[in-house]
Amino acid sequence: MTKRIKLGVFEMMNPNNGMPTWTDPRGRGDEWDNLEYWVTLARELDDAGFDFLFFADTYGYATLEGSMPNEVAAHGIQFPALDPMLAIATLARETENLGFVVTSPTTVERPYAMARRFATLDRFTAGRIGWNIVTGSSQATTDQLFGVTEVLSHDERYDAADEFLDTCLRYWEHSWQDGAEVRDRESGTYVDPEKLHAVEVAGRFQRSRGIFAVPPTPQRTPVLFQAGTSDRGRAYAARNAEAVFIQGQTIESAAVHVGDIREQAVRNGRSAEDVSVVTGMTVTVAETSEEAWMLREEYENLLGLDDAAVMFAGITGLDLTGIDPAWRVVDLKTDLGQTLVQRYAKQDPDMRVGQILDQFRTKAIRGFQVTGSPVEVADEIERIVDGSGIDGIMLEPTFGGTAAYRAFIELVLPILAERGRTEDLQGEVTLRERFTGAPRLAQSHRARTLTARAADDHHSIGAETNES
């Protein structure tokens, strides 16, 4: 059967979106902090039938040995930035069907506050919200900004993320029984107290006790995205995520990640289809192949080596300019982001440090690079999806502004639609329905084995829950 491709867009609320494009006339250097810019983008994506608009985000910025390198400020390397979550209510109001996914780290926020904000957005967007769960990039900086005194190791941060999510799930899924919100004027009952359950968590990383203040929302739990494909990150995704965001590099390496995540999901009592995988992708398309390749060459020359080194250090904590270029990449160790280091180590076990920057400079954190005429691009997207098992793509803007999306919408989307690759969902649907067909978490999701009180948890999938 021809697989339909979920369509998203990968954005950050900063001047550059990860490549130094703010000075370019095609960029958004003067517009990124204007809400109207995002409203216009959201409307265009909504009209074109995209499934979702995704915001990467971090509280931090790149630092080296505790300080911000000059390049970060001077060249706007993922800095400065606004909080995308605060734009979602407006973007949802100005669109009809588009979903929104917001990245929020488990290392900075507290579960109850996060659960409340996402639940509020689920109400205001009528179920069009997703949460991209990350343990967080720029970890060294956020630890400083938030005065963190207990610095956790890489894997401990994921352990803490497990407890964080479980606490949120207890509030979203188990604090209110269905039907608790009666709003009955005659009896004078707003909420049936018998149908409320106090959450009780006293874990290693999280402590929380009480009743959720937000009534159940269309999806209850936002669609659970996850990003971070280290070994521990994939294990986390297989247990928890409904959609995993990867930056696929080759069909082969993406297929290995997709296969591994799905296998682990099955071992966790879920079915392979319970986890969708979406990849970042930069599409450079023009009427002719030659024009497209000229554009590609142009933006590949945007990022200088120093900027690339700073960006790499911000994510991994590794300053490559201070490491012997002849060192093998497999010997690099980091307690911050491992996905990026493993990407190069797995690509070629003999790769040297000196080679990373050359490669990173041309594409930074981006995923698949697809370039060519409209038909060439459509063919390549189909090859990637069919060859890797990936379920969707998230487009990255080449020069920062909306031109790349418009080119895709005008030139590529009609071809994919004609080939039966796009989904044409009618009417208002929740974001989860776009992924799983149902507005609520699947019965096989681990959330169903949880209860309001951690001490009462069921230990098998499919156990009784509070819901009808």
By C-beta, is 132 or 436 nearer to ligand FMN?
A: 132
- State the alpha helices, DSSP H only, in 338-418: 339-347, 353-363, 374-388, 403-407, 413-418
CB atoms within 10 A of CB 36: 10
**294 with 284: CB under 8 angstroms?**
no
Closest approach of ligand FMN to the CB of residue 243, in Å: 12
Closest approach of ligand FMN to the CB of residue 234, in Å: 8
Give the binding range for ligand FMN (CB under 6 A) out of 39-47, 128-136, 186-194, 380-388: 128-136
Tell me which of 135, 240, 276, 422 binds ligand FMN, using CB under 6 A: 135
Q: Would you count residue 228 as binding ligand FMN (CB under 6 A)?
A: yes
**411 with 374: CB under 8 angstroms?**
yes
Nearest residue to ligand FMN by CB is 337
Count of residues interacting with ligand FMN (CB under 6 A): 22
Minimal CA–CA distance to 109: which of 87, 134, 130, 126? Answer: 134
Closest approach of ligand FMN to the CB of residue 37, in Å: 19
Give the binding range for ligand FMN (CB under 6 A) out of 86-94, 131-139, 417-425, 429-437: 131-139
Q: Would you count residue 400 as binding ligand FMN (CB under 6 A)?
A: no
Tell me which of 14, 78, 137, 451 binds ligand FMN, using CB under 6 A: 137
CB atoms within 10 A of CB 105: 23
Closest approach of ligand FMN to the CB of residue 324, in Å: 23
Tell me which of 21, 97, 167, 230 binds ligand FMN, using CB under 6 A: 230
Per-residue string for binding with ligand FMN, 18-57, x by CB under 6 A?
--------------------------------------xx
Q: Would you count residue 103 as binding ligand FMN (CB under 6 A)?
A: yes
By C-beta, is 315 or 364 nearer to ligand FMN?
A: 315
Give the whole-angstrom CA distance, residue 352 versus residue 327.
5
Structure tokens at 252: 């082969």
By C-beta, is 80 or 210 nearer to ligand FMN?
A: 80
Cβ contacts of 12 within 8 Å, gap of 6 or more: 18, 55, 56, 57, 78, 81, 84
Tell me which of 42, 199, 246, 384 binds ligand FMN, using CB under 6 A: 246
Helices 231-240, 251-267: inter-axial angle, 10-degree rounding: 50
Give the whole-angstrom CA distance, residue 58 versus residue 338.
17
Give the whole-angstrom CA distance, residue 261 versus residue 239.
9
**382 with 421: CB under 8 angstroms?**
yes
φ/ψ of 453, rounded to 5, equals: -95, 125
**Residues at the interface with ligand FMN (CB under 6 A):** 56-58, 103, 105, 134-137, 154, 227-230, 233, 245-247, 315, 337-339
